[in-house]
């Protein structure tokens, strides 16, 4: 299968990591997806992996000429929707950076296009594939903590100096849809429940001069089955921290508690407290390609991708409007 990459602002390394493992996909071309987009990081990784796809200045011309089977879309986040829509109209399998869109109207249009397209689609919720999250999820599904009743998830990042597009809502989309969507996705994945309502708040204070970028946020969700779930998000992790990110989840069940913290899985139930051995990491883009070939379902389904994006956008609206929103 032929692959093109549009943009270099997101998690293109999920895709290149799959190619580095030798999956049978030909990266034939790359192009920017946003005006003035810097592809320096993408180009550096291509050199590291000794990959030399064709370069195009115009992504639509690239699609016209190369006619790829798969496109990975990750330009400036405000441009996701229009590029995703064009790929779906052309019937191209879509591996797309999250959020799939930065407005609910655009998201609804994308879902309509996808349902009539017959193509495979997955958002880049790659943290699901990390060994500590895979392990915790498997343990919860096996019933080790009983019925899930309460969840709390965390996304904490260093801010550093971000590109200019992060400073504007129209090009960035907001911290809840960009950073928080990972954690919001975990809530449905771990609980098996759906969202009912959300209240949220966010703030641009202490954002290091990054304009409209929110440096902290909180979301509180009511889910089906009377499950309660919260998410905290920040760009306030100190530069001196030992890692760029601090991803956590705590899932409380009727028979125990499981926590992911510091890339460890802690289980507390009737058998006592233990740190669990972990499953091996699964390569997320390889998983998507395998689903296209009919070998297995993708761990992140198209439905997951749309629902988690919608929840993130509604949470952002709840924070903007300072009110509870029902789904």
Q: How many residues does the chain have?
A: 327
Beta-bridge mates of residue 228: 150, 222
| Direct distance between the N- and C-terminal alpha carbons of the chain, in angstroms, rounded to an integer | 38
Domain parsing of the chain, residue ranges: 2-119, 127-326
Q: Furthest-apart CA pair in the chain: how many Å?
A: 61
Instruction: Provide the whole-model pTM.
Output: 0.96
Q: In what order do the strands lie in the sheet with 121-123?
A: 54-55, 26-31, 2-6, 70-73, 93-96, 121-123
CB 254 within 8 A of CB 149: yes
Q: Dihedral sign, CA of 146, 147, 150, 154?
A: positive
- pLDDT score for 131: 98
Q: Is 87 helix (H, G, I), strand (E, B) or coil?
A: helix
Give the Cα separation of 249 and 154 in Å (integer). Answer: 6
- pLDDT score for 8: 97
* CA nearest neighbour of 16 among 5, 7, 6, 1: 5
CB 224 within 8 A of CB 213: no
* CA nearest neighbour of 244 among 158, 181, 126: 158
- pLDDT score for 79: 98
Q: What is the second-level CATH architecture of the domain 2-119?
A: 3-Layer(aba) Sandwich (3.40)
- pLDDT score for 293: 97
Parts of the chain with a pLDDT under 50: none
- pLDDT score for 116: 87
Q: CATH: 3.40.50.1820, 3.30.530.20, 3.30.360.10, 4.10.80.400. Which one for 127-326? A: 3.30.360.10
């Amino acid at each position: 299968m032929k692959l093109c990459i549009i943009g270099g602002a997101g998690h293109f390394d999920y895709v290149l990591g799959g190619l580095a493992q030798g999956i049978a996909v030909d990266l034939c071309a790359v192009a920017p997806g946003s005006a003035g987009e810097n592809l320096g990081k993408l180009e550096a990784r291509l050199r590291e992996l000794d990959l030399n796809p064709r370069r195009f200045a115009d992504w639509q011309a690239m699609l016209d000429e190369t006619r790829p089977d798969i496109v990975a879309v990750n330009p400036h986040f405000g441009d996701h929707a229009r590029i995703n829509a064009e790929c779906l109209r052309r019937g191209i399998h879509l591996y797309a950076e999250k959020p799939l869109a930065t407005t609910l109207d655009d998201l609804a249009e994308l879902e309509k296009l996808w349902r009539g397209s017959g193509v495979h689609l997955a958002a880049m919720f790659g943290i699901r594939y990390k060994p500590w999250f895979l392990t915790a999820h498997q343990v919860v599904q096996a019933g080790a903590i009983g019925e899930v009743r309460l969840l709390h998830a965390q996304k904490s990042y260093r801010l550093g100096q971000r590109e200019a597009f992060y400073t504007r809502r129209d090009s960035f989309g907001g911290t809840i849809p960009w950073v928080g969507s990972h954690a919001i996705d975990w809530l449905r994945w771990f609980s098996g429940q759906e969202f009912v309502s959300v209240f949220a708040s966010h703030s641009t204070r202490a954002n290091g001069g990054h304009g409209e970028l929110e440096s902290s946020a909180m979301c509180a969700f009511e889910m089906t089955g009377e499950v309660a779930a919260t998410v905290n998000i920040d760009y306030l992790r100190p530069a001196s921290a030992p890692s760029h990110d601090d991803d956590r989840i705590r899932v409380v069940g009727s028979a125990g508690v499981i926590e992911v913290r510091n890339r460890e899985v802690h289980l507390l139930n009737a058998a006592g407290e233990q740190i669990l051995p972990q499953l091996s990491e699964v390569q997320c883009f390889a998983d998507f390609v395998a689903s296209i070939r009919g070998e297995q379902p993708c761990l992140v389904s198209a439905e997951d991708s749309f629902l988690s994006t919608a929840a993130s956008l509604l949470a952002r609206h709840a924070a903007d409007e300072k009110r509870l929103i029902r789904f």
